[in-house]
Amino acid sequence: MGKIKKIGVLTSGGDSPGMNAAIRGVTRTAIFNGLEVVGIHRGYQGMIDASFQPMQSYSVSNIIQRGGTILKTARCEAFRTPEGRQKAYNNLKEAQIDGVVVIGGDGSFTGARLFNEEFDIPFVGIPGTIDNDIFGTDYTIGYDTALNTVVEAVDKIRDTASAHDRMFFVEVMGAEAGFIALYSGIATGAEAIVIPELKGENRDIRKMIEEGNTRKKTSNIIIVAEGDEGGGAFAMAEKVKSEFPDYDIRVSVLGHLQRGGSPSAIDRVNASRLGHAAVEALIDDQKSVMVGIMNGEITLVPFRRAVKQNKDVNRSLVELAKILSV
């Protein structure tokens, strides 16, 4: 077991369905291996405040089906400073915590990487974000649940769009990546999908509408990623309204409902796998790495690669979406 006797676990950044399943996986794998476990409340802020809670097996009972995170999450500007990280280190040492599992996204891993460059307590990351935009893993916790939430909502919007011959711009999450928009657009039969990764002709809404007119389409669903350079769904709808004044246009912003809800079976199983793998990585003396899933198998990716390299959308799916919208 080496030097690892007690580990901490925290959730940081935006919450995502399945984080609780990961916490459960970490806690019970650690206990199975004879380790002590400490839950750290409110992410890195809890590390600075020494907000620690001893975890037992019963501490994670009846949480696998719950959205959000029982450990809470928060942004922490203080952890960006050397002084803040020093205070966090001192608190970890005083609590005799030998390693930390961080469940979060790019920002969380950047903080963990900086910490590991300065101090001797190893950090291992688990990708937790509904955006599915972290390099080195096919999957991030919460993506599958969020995607299904969007599909269910858009299916209902489609009903009223068809009933009233309306055009709906539906804005989904994805500040810097279009994974939710692309997959939900294909799954719901959207007439157009607008994501940050597409430029020029590939995002020509006017052309799409004109082609739809020739095919006698009476209603349209346009999925827009919130981070798109066009300014989001409202800005795009205003522009289209000025060009096609006869269209009855509506906008629906799905917002934070995409973050909530009971996690899907896929999110529960994969989060449990990643929680287990993170503890195993610490036992094996790994540090400054993320555990991910590639081609169905657990993989280890250095934080420096996970946060510095961009994960692109599948371009064949972009082409598929275009073909299926005719």
User: Which candidate, 284, 263, 265, places its Cα nearest to that of 29?
Assistant: 284
- Partners of 123 in the β-ladder: 100
d(CA 153, CA 160): 11
**pLDDT at residue 66, as a whole number:** 97
Nearest 5°: phi and psi at 169?
-95, 120
Go through the chain and tell me how many residues it has: 326
Angle, alpha carbons 177-146-128 (nearest 5°)? 70
The answer, as to whether pTM is greater than 0.85, is yes
Alpha carbon 166 to its chain centroid, in Å, reads 31
Sign of torsion over alpha carbons 152, 153, 154, 158: positive
**CA dihedral of residues 299, 300, 301, 306 (deg, nearest 10):** 70
Mark whether 159 is an active-site residue: no
Instruction: Report residue 139: phi and psi, to 5°.
Output: -135, 140
User: pLDDT 10s per residue in the chain (326 long)?
Assistant: 458 999 999 999 999 999 999 999 999 999 999 999 999 999 999 999 999 999 999 999 999 999 999 999 988 999 999 999 999 999 999 999 999 999 999 999 999 999 999 999 999 999 999 999 999 999 999 999 999 999 999 999 999 888 888 889 999 998 788 999 999 999 999 988 988 887 754 556 777 777 665 665 667 899 999 877 777 889 888 888 888 888 889 999 999 999 999 999 999 999 999 999 999 999 999 999 999 999 999 999 999 999 888 888 888 998 898 888 77
Q: What pLDDT score does 1 carry? A: 41
Q: Which of 15, 98, 106, 131 is labelled catalytic?
A: 131
Q: What is the 8-class DSSP label of residue 312? A: P
Q: Which of 140, 9, 11, 8 lies closest to 72, judged by CA?
A: 11
